[in-house]
Amino acid sequence: MTLSEAANDNQGRKLFAPRPCPICKKPSTEKYRPFCSKRCADVDLARWLGGNYAIPAAPEQDGDDDEGPANPTRG
């Protein structure tokens, strides 16, 4: 008795929506995701390194302790 087993569909496939390249809106590749190519990845990296983003400067806080003349006069 030979039973030809049918291909079991136990493969859990997940439908994923490929996000377009944030640089040129082309379909991203798996290698350079979320970008479409290394070029667009470099472009995005250059944006970060180029200084297009502003670094929030922390306000300087002066510790106001020991305020006032504290000179014990001895004599």
Binding of Zn ion at residue 21 (CB under 5 A)?
A: yes
**Identified binder of Zn ion from the candidate list 19, 24, 27, 38, rule CB under 5 A:** 24
Token digits for 11? Answer: 């493969």
The residues that bridge with 20 in the sheet, in sequence order, are: 27
For the chain, counts of helices (H) and of strands (E): 1, 0
Q: Residue 13 belongs to what H/E stretch?
A: none
Those residues with Cβ within 8 angstroms of residue 38's Cβ, 6 or more apart along the chain or in another chain? 32
Which window, 8-16, 26-34, 51-59, 64-72, contacts Zn ion (CB under 5 A)? 26-34
Which window, 2-10, 12-20, 34-42, 51-59, contacts Zn ion (CB under 5 A)? 34-42
Binding of Zn ion at residue 41 (CB under 5 A)?
A: no
Binding of Zn ion at residue 40 (CB under 5 A)?
A: yes
